[in-house]
Amino acid sequence: MEDTTIALTLTLFISILLGLIGLIAFLWGLRSGQFDDEKRFTHGALFDSEEELNAARDREEKLKNAAKEAREKVEEK
């Protein structure tokens, strides 16, 4: 009886610990922008080759960088 209680307690503790690790990893992903790239996945099906997909990604990066530079210029003033 006592062995079963110890095993259940240990299993419960381990499952809660794994759940907390998963929650922390998910929240870290949200804060670091891991899930902000929905356009890449939706537009990925529109391009036939890897080169076209990479070119589209590069264009999107340039747009993001241009927007970032514009925000920095506005903040400087």
Quote the distance between the C-alpha of residue 65 and its chain's center. Answer: 19
Per-residue pLDDT at 14: 98
- This prediction's pTM: 0.48
> Do 40 and 57 meet the contact criterion of CB atoms below 8 Å apart?
yes
CA atoms of 56 and 28, how far apart (whole Å): 27
Per-residue pLDDT at 9: 94
Per-residue pLDDT at 15: 98
Say whether pLDDT at 18 is over 90: yes
At 3, list the tokens: 């062995």
Per-residue pLDDT at 21: 98
At 60, list the tokens: 């999107």
42-50 contacts at long range (C-beta below 8 A, 24 or more positions apart): none
Say whether pLDDT at 28 is over 90: yes
Per-residue pLDDT at 43: 66
At 5, list the tokens: 């209680």
